[in-house]
Structure 1
Amino acid sequence: MKKIILITGATDGLGKVAAKDLAKKGHTVIIHGRNKEKAQALCKEIKTETGNKNVDTIIADLLSFTDVKRMAEEFKSRYERLDVLINNAGAMFGKNREVTKHGTEKTMTLNVYSPMLLTELLMEVLVKSPSARIINTSSSMHRRAVMPDFDDMQLEKNYSPTGAYATSKLYLIWLTRHMKSELRKQGIRNVTANASHPGAAATQFGQNDDKGFLVNMVFKSVSVLSKIFPTLASAEKGAATTIYLATSQQIEGVSGMYFDNKMKEEKPEDKHYSIENEKILWDSCMQVIHPYLNK
């Protein structure tokens, strides 16, 4: 069955690789990006390279909850169902803490709140799929997260770019787990949710903002090493698990799991995990996004 697949952050890096591969396989692919010209240029490129005319674009700034809501409404006006939602967009921001116009810290907004909001807003078209899949892109960096402070969800007391990123990716794994139980509680059996990490891949990720000297050097060294050793970490390898989770029959019905960059189930770091913490996190995030839900 050919799927309708929406990929956020698909104009660069792993999202772009996944979009090309999935279009080549004949699926309908909707490319999300912030820049209209860039997204449309990629759309044209993919159509030319793959011969697949079912490639579309959707533009939104995921640092804006109102834009996320508009994006979801636009998608639902064009498509009756959604088979795969790939929450791929994410970032590590600069060394100085920044907030959005909503007052939420940027890392948490892009990596946690917006994917959760978009997923909730698109649930009505996901449930119309015979077998829908939600794929949340986490990171092995989640293993570096310190004990979460649920009284400081906006990281006002303790912010660093790497710390914020690690925490956001840990949260994404917990939210994916909780989504499994929420779906079951609502009697939804045809929608699954899984998280994955792409490994260190040769993309431009992490090279736009000043994160401090040492962190900047780490990201630049990955880029340099990948050019010297092309097989070290290609974007194609980085996108492989995402593509697998979107299409493989082997994971039909599998939900709430975390997959490594070799398409295998992996146990995430659970030293800070508890069912209670998972529920606290879910409720806290729902409180943030609730004003933008169609309730």
Structure 2
Amino acid sequence: MKTILITGATDGLGKAVALDLAKDGHRLLLHGRNPKRGEALLKQIEKETGNTRLKYYNADFAELSQIKQLAKEVLEQEQELDVLINNAGLGIEASRRSSEDGNEMLWQVNYLGTYILTKLLRPLLKKSAPSRIVQVASAGQAALNFDDINQEKNWSGYQGYCQSKLAQIMLTIELADEYAKDGISMNALHPASLMPTKIVQSPIDTIPDGVKSVVKLAVNEKLANASGKYFFKRTQDKADATAYDEQARRQLMELSLKMTGV
């Protein structure tokens, strides 16, 4: 059985993935940003699955300091981490919001949170190797506007969402070879199309469809050697061309370091 950290686990896809993995007896580290909902989640999973190997971690990704604190607590309190599922995220927003750090909210929550945890939890993932990182991205992808990454000049909820999701895929491809040396595989996926979660108005696929996709990348032994790949649901696919642009990926890494200090 594996120790698995799932961010954004108190509702939607993250919660459904947690329930599915709990049924198989995995030890789950579940992240959310509301302690009461976190406590309710643990009780629900225990009641429905009988799994008591659960722990809740609280952090609001609207603050970079809280994301870093989450990583610090996991490193201090956990002896192993076999799988990191970076699932926490926001959907297309109706209006621009700024984080506590002054960043556009979609960029911070969807991408910078993923970047920080991928970087800071590396030592524990290395210690637990072979281990995996699963980036829950999207088929909605747009080239990054490096000149206005926070969209202060011209905001678009669609651009904000799609560039943050493409950045997750770019991060995956850029770091895959480096992390593979530590026994860590890393893949990104579009789990399902417009699942009926709180951020989707007109569903196409179901949440169980998305669960199958995420769980496959997280624990399926046939994918143990896959790394640096993008999957559309459960099939390897091609991401936006920008993901394969080495210069764009290097620019993203420099920007990420500048914005997070990590």
> Does residue 256 of structure 1 match 2:231?
no
The equivalences for 1:195-206 within 5 A come to: 195-206=188-199
From the superposition, tell whether residues 239 and 201 of structure 1 become closer, same or farther in structure 2 (CA, over 3 Å).
farther
Deviation sequence 1:189-234 (CA, Å, 0-9, x none): x10110001222433342xxxxxxxxxxxx4232xxxxxxxxx522
Native 8 Å contact 1:173 1:258 kept in 2:
yes
Amino acid at match of 1:170: L
Range with greater deviation from structure 2 (248-257 or 72-81):
72-81
User: Shift of residue 238 of structure 1?
Assistant: 1.3
Deviation sequence 1:13-34 (CA, Å, 0-9, x none): 1111110111111100111111
Structure 1 distance, partners of 2:129, 2:26, is 15
Report the equivalent of 2:251. 280
Deviation sequence 1:244-285 (CA, Å, 0-9, x none): 011101111211001111x11111121674111111111111
Structure 2 distance, partners of 1:30, 1:251, is 22
**Structure 2 SS opposite 1:31:** strand
The equivalences for 1:1-295 within 5 A come to: 2-92=1-91, 94-142=93-141, 145=142, 147-184=143-180, 187-188=181-182, 190-206=183-199, 219-222=200-203, 233-261=205-233, 263-270=234-241, 273-290=244-261, 293=262
TM superposition score normalised by structure 1: 0.85
Structure 2 distance, partners of 1:272, 1:251, is 21
Amino acid at match of 2:226: V
Point out 4+ residue stretches in structure 1 off by more than 6 angstroms.
Answer: none
Range with greater deviation from structure 2 (59-68 or 72-81):
72-81
Amino acid at match of 1:68: I
Native 8 Å contact 1:6 1:85 kept in 2:
yes
Amino acid at match of 2:80: R
User: Shift of residue 92 of structure 1?
Assistant: 2.6
Structure 1 distance, partners of 2:23, 2:50, is 8
Native 8 Å contact 1:35 1:59 kept in 2:
yes
Structure 2 distance, partners of 1:280, 1:35, is 34
Report the equivalent of 1:225. none
The gaps in structure 2 that reach 5 residues or longer are: none
Structure 1 distance, partners of 2:253, 2:149, is 12
TM superposition score normalised by structure 2: 0.95
Native 8 Å contact 1:14 1:203 kept in 2:
no
Native 8 Å contact 1:10 1:19 kept in 2:
yes
Native 8 Å contact 1:61 1:67 kept in 2:
yes
Amino acid at match of 1:220: Q
Structure 1 distance, partners of 2:150, 2:175, is 22
Amino acid at match of 1:221: S
| Structure of larger gyration radius | 1
Native 8 Å contact 1:201 1:237 kept in 2:
no
**Structure 1 SS opposite 2:98:** coil
Native 8 Å contact 1:245 1:251 kept in 2:
yes
From the superposition, tell whether residues 137 and 27 of structure 1 become closer, same or farther in structure 2 (CA, over 3 Å).
same
Structure 1 distance, partners of 2:236, 2:93, is 32
Native 8 Å contact 1:82 1:125 kept in 2:
yes
Native 8 Å contact 1:5 1:30 kept in 2:
yes
Native 8 Å contact 1:148 1:272 kept in 2:
no
Structure 1 distance, partners of 2:194, 2:131, is 27
